[in-house]
Structure 1
Amino acid sequence: MHLSVSTETLWIDTPHGRLFASRWFAQEGVGNGAKPPIVLFHDSLGCVALWRDFPEQLCRATGHEVIAYDRLGFGQSDAYPGTLPLHFIRDEAAGFFGHLKAALGIEDFIAFGHSVGGAMAAVCASLYGQHCSALITVSAQAFVEDRTLEGIRVAKEQFAQPGQMGRLEKYHGAKAPWVLAAWTETWLSPAFSDWTIENTVETINCPSLAIHGQYDEYGSDLHPKRIARLSTGTGEYLIVDDCHHVPHREAPDRVLAAVSEFLGAAAR
């Protein structure tokens, strides 16, 4: 059955500033509240707009409501007050996601994160263990690997070239320099070098699926394997052939099929 999808945008107040969010709803009686919404956590340079049409595709493929939001400092959300702290991953789950959850009246949910958003989704699955039905990560990092740092150094050099900052300004406006620095300077900082997913995430009791591109320039397949081991229940990982860091854009059909199958099994 072909599902029609409707969407809405909204703003969420927090003590530190407003967050921009979007919601996608499947019509024709599917996604009517019986299924928990999928909450998307974007990557280090991302925002709602940079998910492009994936949220709609995800909604259509699964029948679940999909919610995406711009973290504070990103996209259309307000500027972040100061430098991003080294404990920002846990802060997102413990603080800002809590405001989103309360404002939208979310009870049970599915956490879905890309890149560093995957680590944030994993923390949410741990902190809200009684309410997180499933965890899905895509290209998430589990530790600070040499490949991760080299990929960030290359990207930092590329963004230093004339005209390249405009790529970020298109989505983040005047916040673009902060967005870039929040990514590169945090991850390249010696003080962040001992960060690991195991030291950030406690027990995950829900089923989990860690998706990773075969040629991900920001991490080897050690990352999804470590993330899959976090779950006390079913923890799976999937390596998507011929993909780099954005499998949901490079191979959306394969990712959507894997997610739909995983959620179907998790619901049984």
Structure 2
Amino acid sequence: MPATTTEDFWIATDRGRLHVRHWYPAAGEPAAAPIVLFHDSLGCVELWRDFPEQLADATGRGVIAYDRLGFGQSDPHLGRLDAGFVGEEARDGFRFLREALRLDRFVAFGHSVGGGMAVACAAAWPDDCDALITESAQAFVEDRTLQGIRVAKLSFARPGQLDRLRKYHGDKAAWVLQAWIETWLAPDFAAWNLDEALRQVRCPLLVLHGDRDEFGSPRHPERIAALAAGPVAKHVWEGYGHVPHRENAAAVTALASSWLDTATAG
């Protein structure tokens, strides 16, 4: 049986190059819109591990992931993240990706803060986004989220812990960690939310969350589902934490695949 194949390449933006990986399903050239993955605050292409391959095989769609500027194998980010960085990704990195790959149609799938970015992309191109999937997405700044970040900050302050990030981000690891912690804990970020973007989402939406997510309570999927303008399916897993696609990739891919078949039929 033919295997899923991958292709790595870089695309140019006005601030530096972005590293991109494309998974092609074993079934051959897919006719349906590809799935674009948006990683979390400490994530990158490599940290999706084998989930994109499983997703490509389960859905029969191409899967595309990219390292945001400052992450993974992409070029360094020379500044700080401001309070609008979630929405700005739709007009910045993702816009360049769309243009370079000529993506007329796409499915947006985002994990954690990447879920917010996926929402922003679906809102920015409502006629071109076939479907949207959020996993463990934060819809607003919650005390549980901030407490989880504070705990992680203490953990990463221990000797050798930053090496965990250097494995994936190289010399950019300190910036990646600082960007996550300082941006979310900054006073001017306290009022941030996805409300306006969610009201502009017209495509079908699947909201995934774990009830033991240490970075966000079930209030987040409730708010996402309540505000989106299009049809919504919500699934909160009992016993799952912040990364369901790592805790049970088979369950996530099976649910995403069956939902996509129904949501995009016709």
Report 1:69-148 matches (<5 A). 69-148=66-145
Structure 2 residue 7 is matched with structure 1 residue 26:
no
| Local SS of the residue matching 2:92 | helix
| Alpha-carbon separation, structure 1, partners of 2:197 and 2:131 | 18
* Offset at residue 105 of structure 1 (A): 1.1
| Local SS of the residue matching 1:255 | helix
2:210 is matched with 213
1:36 is matched with 33
* Offset at residue 201 of structure 1 (A): 4.3
Structure 2 residue 6 is matched with structure 1 residue 7:
yes
Indicate the percent of aligned positions where both proteins have the same amino acid.
54
Alpha-carbon spacing, 1:178–1:184, altered in 2? closer, same or farther (3 Å): same
* Offset at residue 40 of structure 1 (A): 0.2
* Offset at residue 3 of structure 1 (A): 6.1
Letter in 2 for 1:183: W
Instruction: Give the TM-score taking structure 2 as reference length.
Output: 0.97
1:173 to 170, 174, 190: 170
1:245 is matched with 242
Structure 1 segments of 4+ aligned residues over 6 angstroms from their partners? none
Matched-pair contact (CA < 8 Å) for 2:109–2:134: yes
* Offset at residue 262 of structure 1 (A): 1.0
In structure 1, runs of 5+ residues without a counterpart are none
| Alpha-carbon separation, structure 1, partners of 2:217 and 2:109 | 20
* Offset at residue 233 of structure 1 (A): 2.2
Between 194-203 and 97-106, the greater mean CA deviation after superposition: 194-203
Matched-pair contact (CA < 8 Å) for 2:138–2:216: yes
* Offset at residue 242 of structure 1 (A): 1.4
1:226 to 219, 223, 226: 223
Could you list the per-position Cα deviations for residues 42-65 of structure 1 after superposition, in whole angstroms to 9, with x for gaps in the alignment?
A: 000000000000000000010010
Matched-pair contact (CA < 8 Å) for 1:110–1:134: yes
Matched-pair contact (CA < 8 Å) for 2:198–2:224: no
1:204 is matched with 201
| Local SS of the residue matching 2:9 | strand
Instruction: Give the TM-score taking structure 1 as reference length.
Output: 0.96
Matched-pair contact (CA < 8 Å) for 1:169–1:176: yes
RMSD across aligned C-alpha pairs, in angstroms?
Answer: 1.1
2:148 to 148, 151, 157: 151
| Alpha-carbon separation, structure 2, partners of 1:28 and 1:238 | 28
Letter in 2 for 1:101: R
Matched-pair contact (CA < 8 Å) for 1:207–1:231: no
* Offset at residue 257 of structure 1 (A): 1.4
2:157 is matched with 160
Matched-pair contact (CA < 8 Å) for 2:209–2:237: yes
In structure 2, runs of 5+ residues without a counterpart are none
Between 87-96 and 157-166, the greater mean CA deviation after superposition: 87-96
Matched-pair contact (CA < 8 Å) for 1:123–1:202: no
| Alpha-carbon separation, structure 2, partners of 1:232 and 1:267 | 16
Question: How many positions carry a matched residue from both structures?
Answer: 265
Structure 2 residue 253 is matched with structure 1 residue 256:
yes
Matched-pair contact (CA < 8 Å) for 1:113–1:120: yes
Matched-pair contact (CA < 8 Å) for 1:84–1:182: yes
| Alpha-carbon separation, structure 2, partners of 1:127 and 1:200 | 8
